[in-house]
Amino acid sequence: MILEESARRHADVPRRDRRPLLLIVNPGATGVSVERTQLSTAVLGLGYRVDVVETGAAGEAVELARAGDRDGYALVVAFGGDGTVNEVANGLAGGATPLGCLPGGRTNVFARTLGVPAEPVEAAARLLVLASDLRPRRVDLGVMNDRYFTFASGIGLSASLNRHVDKRPGLKSRLGSPYLAYAALSTMNSRYIVAPPHVRLSVDGEEVDGVTVVAQNSDPLTYLGRRAIRVCGSAGLTTGTISLALLKRLSRRDVSTIVARLVSGNSARVLGHRRVRGFAGVAGADVRSIDGQALPVEVDGEYVGELDAVRYGTAPRKLAVAA
């Protein structure tokens, strides 16, 4: 019904007078298909003048989005997973052009945080409704060195997990959450109990040592199926700060209790664990290796490599979004 009403409202607007929209598609994302791309494009085309471009390599969406902002598109839409959204957000950061999301990954954390419908065609219909009265809002971005993140970045366990999963995309696609849960337990037991990288977190004049750091720009941290995984519950897209959690160490008997608290959906329970320390609402923090091991790092669920040191910060109201 909403789609039909929106289509009727825009039917008399000549295509040349419709607002230009750039749709950036990651054809390799789990939830992206030729059919879904065509249907979503058709829906968006009822109210916008749509240009579609597919990404072919990592990092390409950053430049495509940056060009879209420079070329005067009214809206740049990312159709892919959280990695695609991250790249498009990095391209649009600081500009006036808003970001729209068509969920095409398995988790779609940022899109879900914004309240975007899970089905890409339904998300396209939502954007169609906004076509005649596009009123974007501005949200904060987190900063990891010179890269922005929309919801979270991790050093240590979460980065190693993402590196492990990225090596087996077929299993991730076919098995979904059960495989992610298995991979998480395997990563904990194989490395972070035996020989984890040791880090020093410097925040608000205090230094604390541990094996894993999570920095959040929004809540929740991620999802396991429909279940929200919450760690830093005080994080939010308009707080002007980031929140962090430090895992001080991990033993075999800690694994079951930490996992139980993670899947509870209660951030207070997670931060209340004897091995975890939380830092809410900070402007920035520094993390460095203290044992000579390079630090595995991820942003928005995408493994980005190993670094010797990381500077976390926040960029208030850096990104315009339409949702």
**Is 2-135 assigned to CATH 3.40.366.30?**
no
Given a cut of 80, whether residue 251 has pLDDT beyond it is yes
- Going 263 to 226 to 79 to 233, the CA torsion angle's sign is negative
Given a cut of 80, whether residue 149 has pLDDT beyond it is yes
Band of residue 213 on the pLDDT scale cut at 50, 70, 90: very high
Question: So what's the architecture of 147-315 in CATH?
Answer: Sandwich (2.60)
The C-alpha atoms of residue 56 and residue 98 are separated, in whole angstroms, by: 23
* Predicted confidence (pLDDT) per residue in 32-68, tens digit: 999 999 999 999 999 999 999 999 999 999 999 999 9
Please report the pLDDT score of residue 252 as a whole number: 86
Look up residue 110 and give its amino acid.
Answer: F
Please report the pLDDT score of residue 159 as a whole number: 87
Please report the pLDDT score of residue 183 as a whole number: 56
* Predicted confidence (pLDDT) per residue in 102-116, tens digit: 999 989 999 999 999
Scan for tokens 């997990």, then name that residue.
161
Write the CB contacts of 63 (distance below 8 Å, at least 6 apart in sequence).
91
* Predicted confidence (pLDDT) per residue in 163-208, tens digit: 656 655 654 555 455 655 555 556 655 666 667 889 999 999 999 9
Please report the pLDDT score of residue 141 as a whole number: 98
Using an 8 Å Cβ cutoff, are 222 and 263 in contact? no
Reference 58, options 97, 30, 86; nearest CA is 86
Q: What is the 3-state secondary structure (H, E, C) of 38-51?
A: HHHHHHHCCCEEEE
Q: Which residues of 310-319 are buried (b: 16+ CB within 10 A; e: fewer)?
A: bebbbbeebb
Write the CB contacts of 292 (distance below 8 Å, at least 6 apart in sequence).
none
Please report the pLDDT score of residue 169 as a whole number: 60
Using an 8 Å Cβ cutoff, are 262 and 199 in contact? no
With 0.85 as the threshold, say if the pTM is over it: yes
Q: Give the DSSP H or E segment for 133.
A: none
* Predicted confidence (pLDDT) per residue in 75-86, tens digit: 999 999 999 999
Fold agreement (2-135, 147-315): no
- Which two tokens mark 52? 């579609």
Count how many Cα atoms sit within 13 Å of the Cα of residue 301 in the half-sphere of its side chain: 21
* Predicted confidence (pLDDT) per residue in 258-314, tens digit: 989 999 999 999 999 999 999 999 999 999 999 999 999 999 999 999 999 999 999
Given a cut of 60, whether residue 9 has pLDDT beyond it is no
The domain limits of the chain are 2-135, 147-315
Please report the pLDDT score of residue 131 as a whole number: 94
